[in-house]
Amino acid sequence: MAESEVHDKLMSLPEAVRTFVADGCRLRSCGIGLRRAMAFVYEIIRQRKRDLTFVISGMTEDADMLVGAGCLERIEGSYFGLEAFGLAHCYRRAAEQGIPRRIEVEEYSNFGMTMRFMAAAMGLPFMPVRSHLGSDLIRVESFRHPKAIVLDDPFGTGEKVALLPPCPADVALLHAQRCDEDGNTQVWGQLGDDLWGTLAGKKILVSVEEIVPTKVIRRDPNRTLIPGFRVNGIVHQPFGAHPYQVQGYYDADARFRKEYAERSVDLEAWRAWMDEWVYGVHDHEEYLKKLGDDRLTGLRAKKVLSGRVNYGY
């Protein structure tokens, strides 16, 4: 790849979303309990993207806001709630009352979704798992036919497996700690389904807390999750996962999550919250300014440094 093209990967958040997230595409996001690509999600809502299929194992505020804002047509996933903060109310309104529109949902388990991403990432037509068997996850289909197939081991052990179809994405979003200008992206802490899920994307967009010189990455290559040649767009976005955590950068803003959970119970209160925090701010910088320096400083991670290893030979 020519140098100029490499350099072209760096872009602003609105530009990245405008360039790569098309109406009707299959969109994957990231993070289980932390490192959610919230800045991307807010921008997708601001740009009023429509008819997306959202795919990820655990969906929380990100998917709830996308559903409430009318961006989604379909969901493939395994969990849809606000963890310790309760049920996802935009999701409930859509599923129970068709507000703001009906969405179709195809569900598997967390492990099932991860293996589906792995199939897509590896270019395989299916993956076997030993869960799902005997449950309604196998029997109840929404828009995939067949959703899963139970197979007796063709090698004759008498064991059964459930075969699950791949879960590819047109665009995969990943929020990570850091990358270099080529997009070599490093993540530490829990990895969730991010390795397989991100690589299941035909195009990959990363937002990072820091862009570092490539020598920093190359001094510690074991920490790289996604090689730069697979990355199509890079957005430098500090606090890009707020109100979620990023290991080594900042803690969860539990007060913010609790407020969202409370405000989203009622449709009008949810709309007012969205007007204030998503539609009412121009971009993520304005969102952070609105949160205020004191609040962000209070969230900053304390230092818990790892040891160093010898890569010498």
Partner 1 sequence: MATEAVPSSPESRGYKRTELMAICAAREIRDGETVFIGTGLPMLGGMLAKHTHARHCVMIFESGVVDARPTRTPLSIGDACLVPGSSMLGGLVEVFGLLLQRGDVDVGFIGGAQIDRFGNLNTTVIGRYDRPKVRLPGSGGANDIGSLAKRTVIMMTQDARKFVERIDYITTPGWLDGPGAREKAGLPRGGPSAVITDLGIYRFDESTKEMYLESHHPGVAVEEIRGNVAWDLHVPATVRSTKPPTKRELRVLRTKCDPDGLFLG
Q: How far is the CB of 179 from partner 1 (least distance, A)?
A: 19
Q: How far is the CB of 215 from partner 1 (least distance, A)?
A: 25
Give 17 or 82: the residue with its C-beta nearer to partner 1: 82
Give 114 or 237: the residue with its C-beta nearer to partner 1: 114
Q: How far is the CB of 248 from partner 1 (least distance, A)?
A: 8
Angstrom distance (rounded) from CA 206 to CA 185: 8
**Which stretches of the chain bind partner 1, using CB under 8 A?**
31-34, 57-58, 77-81, 83-84, 87-88, 91-92, 95-96, 107-112, 114-115, 118, 129-137, 140, 150, 159-161, 188-196, 245-247, 251-252, 254, 301, 304
Give 22 or 188: the residue with its C-beta nearer to partner 1: 188
Q: How far is the CB of 47 from partner 1 (least distance, A)?
A: 27
Q: How far is the CB of 273 from partner 1 (least distance, A)?
A: 21
Give 1 or 133: the residue with its C-beta nearer to partner 1: 133
Give 151 or 269: the residue with its C-beta nearer to partner 1: 151
